[in-house]
A and B are shown apart, each in its own frame.
Chain A
Amino acid sequence: MRIPCPHCGSRGHEEFAYYGDASLVRPDPATADAEQAFAEFVYLRDNPAGPHRELWYHAQGCQSWLVVERDTLTHEIRGAADVRSRAST
């Protein structure tokens, strides 16, 4: 698999470290159901077969965190963006 890093161009995935599902959102610890919400955030996953948005860290490159869209059935990579661009939108 080659990941199109927005800063470095197309690079082999062995340069990156994988951190899993990018759609997870850290819960608000101040809410009443925070304990339950954190257990789900830390442990439960959708684990889809098909398109998956996931975090990859370009450890041996620009050291940016990327959100990569990849198909878990075919390993096809449809795109990658810096997480900071996601945060600003």
Chain B
Amino acid sequence: MRYSILSVLGHALAGNRRWTPAWRDAAPQPHYDVVIVGGGGHGLATAYYLAKVHGVRRVAVVEKGYIGGGNVGRNTTIIRSNYLLPGNIPFYEWSLKLWEGLEQDINYNAMVSQRGVLNLYHSDAQRDAFVRRGNAMRLHGVDAELLDVAAIRRLAPFLDFDNARFPIRGGLLQRRGGTVRHDAVAWGYARAADRLGVDIVQNCEVTGIRCDHGRVAGVETTRGFIGAGRVGLACAGNSSRVAAMAGLRLPIESHVLQAFVSEALKPVIPCVITFGAGHFYVSQSDKGGLVFGGDIDGYNSYAQRGNLPTVEDVCEGGMALMPFIGRVRLLRSWGGIMDMSMDGSPIIDRTPVDGLYLNAGWCYGGFKATPASGWCFAHLLARDEPHPVATAYRLDRFAAGRLVDEKGQGPHPNRH
């Protein structure tokens, strides 16, 4: 059923008793052309674009838990394309363009809100770096504006502009950035893929990858063996564990990132705001809660929960940026497991195992990339060649020295 104002009105008149599930609870078939491991945003987007753009109809997404239970439901919902490096800007800009047309494309209200992303700077050196980044973006056709203090005072008068250590000197604004309702992205892609015949198999954990003469034959799961012509891994957070089933070691460490939401307030924060002197980013959800986060905890973890020193550090960043936040009560905090790659950039590539493809290493920037990640991974799975905007994300770039190190931190996953 197509969602529209008429369908909403019709169901309302019928007492809302005739709504059907948004996607089928599919049982696994014996064989598929493509099996995607991981029913998160990236896996579901991949399946959708495989079916829609490339006409591959025998596709399954296998998910160990339920749709929306992983990182797609644990992030801080920010979308943006304000990157510096030539390997990154076209990819993230393509993602932002897909976000802009997503809701019409998948016929689902994902609450895409282009309220703007403002990165604050606090020193002359930081201003120079932001000017460089803004110019790099504009050279790639991406919107970027440098704001002075007066303009930021009009936008967000509650900031601590004259902080003794970190006075606010200005900011780089991307107006087309913003936020998206993260759960709706998972549900919308799942429904849209399902409508094109994709089987979404939940509670189906992959326990092994079966290979036959060096070529992938399918996946062993808790619901039996599923044969596949090609297998795509899109299970960031657990990429190393799943890839190890095929004998691969990855340039990835798994780390925990915490996120936070406060009690609901009246509208106060007009856009996404990031603190340039620490690591703190905040936006306000449409329900009113302040959604914020900061650094990863910094040690290997699969625990999906973090420790209190990071909570304190994040809240200190918030207090330094906007002291009023100290009067707000924290409602919830939670953790998600990130694929922290060795250069801070993702991997969308073939693997040494024939027929096995990898989508991994999203660090803590995977949500904004969801549409383009799916688009490019589908392209790779269908055509066996990288999409033009994802050619930098090769698995062999580490050994070959072609790193995409946006922050210039070197091979230390907990610093990206």
Q: Binary interface profile of A, 55-79, with partner B (CB < 8 Å = 1, else 0)?
A: 0000000000000001011110000
| B341 to A, closest residue via Cβ | A43
Q: Which residues of A contact B238 (CB under 8 A)?
A: 49
Q: Which of B96-141 contact A (CB under 8 A)?
A: none
| A42 to B, closest residue via Cβ | B411
Q: Which residues of A contact B412 (CB under 8 A)?
A: 20
Q: Which residues of A contact B411 (CB under 8 A)?
A: 42-43
Q: Binary interface profile of B, 296-314, with partner A (CB < 8 Å = 1, else 0)?
A: 0011111100010100000
Contact B254 A40 (CB under 8 A): no
How many B residues face the partner with a CB closer than 8 A?
A: 25
Contact B250 A45 (CB under 8 A): yes
Q: Which residues of A contact B301 (CB under 8 A)?
A: 72, 75
A57 CB to nearest chain B CB (Å): 12
Contact A75 B307 (CB under 8 A): yes
In this assembly, does B414 line the interface, its C-beta being within 8 Å of a C-beta of chain A? yes
Q: Which residues of B contact A12 (CB under 8 A)?
A: 309
B299 CB to nearest chain A CB (Å): 5
Q: Tell me the complex Cα distance, A49–B238, Å.
A: 9
Binding site for A on B (CB under 8 A): 238, 240-241, 244, 249-254, 298-303, 307, 309, 342, 398-399, 411-414
Q: Which 6 pairs of residues, A with B, have the shortest CB-CB distance? A: A47-B240, A14-B309, A39-B399, A43-B398, A43-B251, A44-B249
List, sorted by A's number, 19 A–B pairs whose CB atoms are closer than 8 Å: A14-B309, A20-B412, A20-B413, A20-B414, A21-B300, A36-B399, A39-B399, A42-B342, A43-B399, A44-B251, A45-B250, A46-B240, A46-B244, A47-B240, A47-B252, A49-B254, A72-B300, A75-B301, A75-B307
Binding site for B on A (CB under 8 A): 1, 12-14, 18, 20-21, 36, 39-40, 42-47, 49, 52, 54, 70, 72-75
